[in-house]
Structure 1
């Protein structure tokens, strides 16, 4: 049965998913059962130099010490943390890039490619979410 981001009966544990040969990788379902959120920064890494766009570096500074990984595209970041986000938001930037904030009803593909020396903890991102959505 295909997994659905809104049907918990189709979800599995990390252990079970990691052992499976079905599908193309692992991901995490954001649900209203907890307060885990993902801030998705599109096209913020220069793939030739590895440098972050200044706007993305500012968001990372605001996020503080939390888990961050390179997105499947290779040129974006997923900032993981905790906050009360019940409605997803897409914030279009003037340069055409976007910041997306999700907390429920979404499947986020995971790469396991940590950005820099980020920790494996989830920080409180409430202030960052408030600032981005103000």
Structure 2
């Protein structure tokens, strides 16, 4: 133990020879530098060095994963997609522990998505509360997006209770002392929400056709599979919003790509630097930034 070879086995995460972004993100999270296709061609296997642990299996980031340090044989196929060296896997133990906690996280997610129309079942996400003066309007709109995504059919009485709690928690920061002003601004924002938290985002993502070619010229930028998929996501969000900017946070992008949010933030910045996106307004903390997709081919089409 401590210097032995360990293996990571991901099932059903390769389609037509192309690994799912979430699967690559999971391998990157483990720290694998050598990754190859499984014997069936529909999965991935990664190898490296780590401490001996009890074998783990489960689902993480919606990917079936098995992790072994002993008492297991994994066939080496010699079909690498990342052909780096075998290195110590810094994230091996952390991901193994995350698998153990995934059942609890799944239960919390189901509770969050429950259709129970109770004020207490929604709560006030910390990311929707202002931390500095001047953030009130933006945070209140983000809260409207969140509530509409979690409970789109909430009654006025339920909404009023939620906004009352938000106002009470935000009061030390915001200058608006009158609840009536906050309530009115929230309802204006509620009516203007076109992309509720979670629900609409997922339906847009589900509609992305991965078989379509990337927009002309994107391949020349030399991005990897994660950033290329992010281009598809941003184009789909812009198409949904029409001429209006679209919202996406680094954390949302990270979840979609299966990478850490700091890496997702760097990819979004790269898209801005390369003229794929323009940054309309920068978010703060968990608040989403607003972007426009502006990349066009020579004919002027997106």
TM-score > 0.5, shorter chain as reference: yes
In 2: Cα distance, 1:34 partner to 1:85 partner: 8
Structure 1 unaligned segments of length 5 or more: list them.
1-31
8 Å Cα contact 1:82-1:122 kept in structure 2: yes
Closer, same or farther in 2 for the Cα pair 1:87/1:130, shift >3 Å?
Answer: same
84-93 vs 60-69, which moves further: 60-69
Deviations 1:45-77 (A, max 9, x none): 11x2x2222220211332446211111111111
In 2: Cα distance, 1:129 partner to 1:33 partner: 12
> 2:33 — aligned with what?
66
In 2: Cα distance, 1:65 partner to 1:33 partner: 16
The Cα of 1:80 is off from its aligned counterpart by 0.3
Q: Which has the higher helix share?
A: 2
> 2:78 — aligned with what?
112
Please say if 1:38 is aligned against 2:7.
yes
Calculate the TM-score normalised by the size of structure 1. Answer: 0.62
The Cα of 1:124 is off from its aligned counterpart by 1.4
The Cα of 1:85 is off from its aligned counterpart by 2.9
8 Å Cα contact 1:101-1:129 kept in structure 2: no
In 1: Cα distance, 2:87 partner to 2:67 partner: 15
Q: Which has the higher strand share?
A: 1
Taking the TM superposition and a 5 Å limit, the aligned residue runs for 1:49-60 are: 50-60=17-27
Point out the structure with max Rg over C-alpha: 2
8 Å Cα contact 2:30-2:95 kept in structure 1: no
SS in 2 for 1:81: strand
SS in 1 for 2:91: helix
Structure 2 unaligned segments of length 5 or more: list them.
99-302
Closer, same or farther in 2 for the Cα pair 1:64/1:104, shift >3 Å?
Answer: closer
Provide the alpha-carbon RMSD of the alignment: 2.3
Calculate the TM-score normalised by the size of structure 2. Answer: 0.30
> 1:9 — aligned with what?
none
Please say if 1:85 is aligned against 2:49.
no
| Aligned residue-pair number | 98
> 1:124 — aligned with what?
88
> 1:27 — aligned with what?
none
> 2:69 — aligned with what?
103
In 1: Cα distance, 2:65 partner to 2:32 partner: 19
